[in-house]
Amino acid sequence: MAAAEGATRKKSRSEIDMSSMDKVIGYRLRRAQHYVFQQFGERFAKYDLRPSEYSILVLVEDNPGRRQNEIGDVLGIKKANFVALIRGLVERGYVELAQPPADRRAHALYLTEAGKDLTRQIRQTQDDFEAHCIDVLGGIDARDQLMALLDRLTPHRPL
């Protein structure tokens, strides 16, 4: 009996029966997310950015002056976590906070010049990565089909 258990434990990954998981949407999405985040980490390592920081920088560039809570809400990041992310981007000199005249309690977000320079670079890196993903998927039509299917699961609602 012990020998049989030992033999079972020594199975390589290629011998593990994954047929029950191969049809689980959540599992397949998680595997794809893992690959994309791993590739992101490799490509963005020189910038020392996490995916959430990339998203913040791009959204702040596209939406200067929006309140901190608005950007955090659309990204689905909890307030405490978002405040910490913004603090880090401020300390690194990429983002600055300003108080809108209408609401002294709020913080509007803007990119600094260093933040604008960095965002130009990371957008190019993301464009290159996006082209790689499109190639792996089999072209733009396949990418568009994947996006449409994902939208059916998550129809552009705030998280």
DSSP string, 90-130: HHTTSEEEE--TT-TT--EEEE-HHHHHHHHHHHHHHHHHH
pLDDT tens-digit map of 52-98: 999 999 999 999 999 999 999 999 999 999 999 999 999 999 999 99
pTM, to two decimals: 0.81
Residues in the chain: 159
| Domain range annotation of the chain | 52-153
Residues of the chain above pLDDT 70, percent: 89
Give the tokens for residue 152.
């059916």
Residue 126 token pair: 């993301």
Give the integer Cα–Cα distance in Å for 132 and 122.
15
The 10 Å Cβ neighbour count of residue 57 is 23
In eight-state DSSP terms, residue 64 is T
Spatial separation of the C-alpha atoms in residues 115 and 58, rounded to whole Å = 10
Mean pLDDT of the region 141-157? 88
CATH code assigned to 52-153? 1.10.10.10
pLDDT of residue 102: 75
